[in-house]
Amino acid sequence: MNYIERIMNSKEVASHPPVLLDIGASEGIHPPWRPIAKYCICIAFDPDAREFSDAKLRRYFRQLHSFDCVVSANSKKQAEFFLTHSPYCSSLLQPDTDKLKDWAFAPLFDVERTIKVKAKTLKQVLKDVGIDQIDWFKVDSQGMDLRLFKSLGKDRYQRVITAEFEPGIIDAYKGEDKLHEVFQFMEKAGFWLSDINIKGSQRISSSVLELFFPNRSLRKLAMFSHKTSPGWAELLYLNSFVNKNKFSKREYLLGWLFATLQGQHGFAYQLAHTGQAESDDPLFDELFQHSERLIKKHIISSNILPYIGRKVGQKLRRFIG
């Protein structure tokens, strides 16, 4: 039995399965969730039915609650929703066409129509499905990520173990949450940034591309050969576990697992030690020993060995075992 099974089948976790929240679930299962999905409850949202089907998700999870509505930070039961040329750019916020006009990907934000959609708050949804806690919060709401995280309420968001956001760097939507706001808030909320992936577009307008390249294929080639500039970021945060009184043995087990899945073996090692001290469960001894082995193993799998010499390399291998 591997460590995922050991943790998921433990009394504390099996009685309260991990809860994964996916706002903007049109792309199917989130890849990092694949190893753990069958043990988990997923709450998924996407109001743009052009790409979303819960059939893509249902087979993966222990339990799935899917909603074809928008998640709102206020209590309105209906909201105006902007359906854009690309389903992945649709949002409750209106695209800022004036600010976007100088960017090559601006046509993706062209509003094809505006519809009225059902809206629910996260607090309402959690009450409806009988769930109190979110363990992994993933959101791609096109401009509203931070306000939706805040809408959980302080007691809930401080107990989230992993949080993922895609905030903007440039102005794509009117009144959107920006990258610098997420940085500032999450640091104060007790999270640390585990990973960041900067994504972007080309600072050249589609009208200029059309002028230079009437041929569509050449126009697309010219766009992708142009320098890409930062436009938004994919962020992954892990809870620092600084507020020890908020976390039980269950959260320390899941914290170790989520950190390990992200390759953060040093942090996982630290959580296992703290979890062992808090609960005196021998499983944590196994977990921090496993983290130690992974830390040592990554030295071997890294590219450093060719540069340290054969004799030193042999000693290192004997030390690692």
Residue 285 domain flag:
no
Q: Which residue has the higher pLDDT, 213 or 162?
A: 162
Choice between 295 and 310, residue whose per-residue pLDDT is larger: 295
Mean pLDDT of all residues belonging to the chain: 87
Asked if 275 and 247 count as a contact pair (C-beta separation under 8 A), the reply is no
Per-residue pLDDT, 227: 87
| Whether residue 270 has pLDDT greater than 60 | yes
**Hey, what are 43's tokens?**
């709450």
Residue 220 lies in a domain: yes
Asked if residue 278 is part of any domain, the answer here is no
Higher pLDDT, 196 or 75: 196
pLDDT at residue 184, rounded to an integer: 97
What's the rounded mean pLDDT across residues 218-241? Answer: 87
Q: Is 287 within a domain?
A: no
Query: What percent of the chain is modeled with pLDDT above 90?
Result: 65
Tell me the C-alpha distance between 125 and 70, whole Å. Answer: 11
pLDDT digits 0-9 by tens, 68-108: 788 888 877 888 999 999 988 999 999 999 999 999 999 99
Determine the Cα–Cα distance for residues 28 and 51; give it in Å rounded to an integer: 9
The count of C-alpha atoms lying within 13 angstroms of the C-alpha of 206, restricted to the half-sphere facing its C-beta, is: 12
**Is 160 among the domain residues?**
yes
Whether residue 42 is predicted with pLDDT greater than 90 in this model: the reply is yes
Structural domain harbouring 140 = 3-10+17-240
- How many CB atoms lie under 10 A from the CB of residue 290? 19
CA distances from 30 to 7, 26, 133, 149, 220 (A): 21, 10, 19, 18, 29
Would you say residue 46 has pLDDT above 80? no
pLDDT tens readout for residues 288-297: 999 999 988 7
9 vs 70 pLDDT, higher one: 9
Domains in the chain: how many in total? Answer: 1
Is the Cβ–Cβ distance between 136 and 18 less than 8 Å? yes
Residue 319 domain flag: no
pLDDT tens-digit readout, 130-149: 999 999 999 999 999 999 99
Output the domain CATH number for residue 143: 3.40.50
Look at residue 61 and tell me if it is in a domain.
Answer: yes
pLDDT higher at 26 or 20: 20
Q: Does 315 score more than 60 pLDDT?
A: no
Q: pLDDT tier at 49 (50, 70, 90 boundaries)?
A: low
What local confidence, expressed as pLDDT, does residue 259 receive? 98
pLDDT at 160: 97
Residue 279: band (very low, low, confident or very high) from pLDDT cuts 50, 70, 90: confident
Confidence (pLDDT) at 68:
78
User: Is 311 a member of any domain?
Assistant: no
What pLDDT, on a 0 to 100 scale, did the predictor assign at position 211?
A: 72
Is residue 233 predicted with pLDDT exceeding 70?
yes
Q: What is the pLDDT of residue 47?
A: 64
Instruction: Report the pLDDT value the prediction gives residue 77, as an integer from 0 to 100.
Output: 81
What is the rounded average pLDDT of the residues 53-61?
74
DSSP category for residue 86: S
Lowest-confidence pick of 135-144, 205-214, 244-253, 279-288: 205-214
Is-contact 226 200, C-beta < 8 A?
no
Specify the pLDDT at position 246.
82
**pLDDT band of 225, cuts 50, 70, 90:** confident
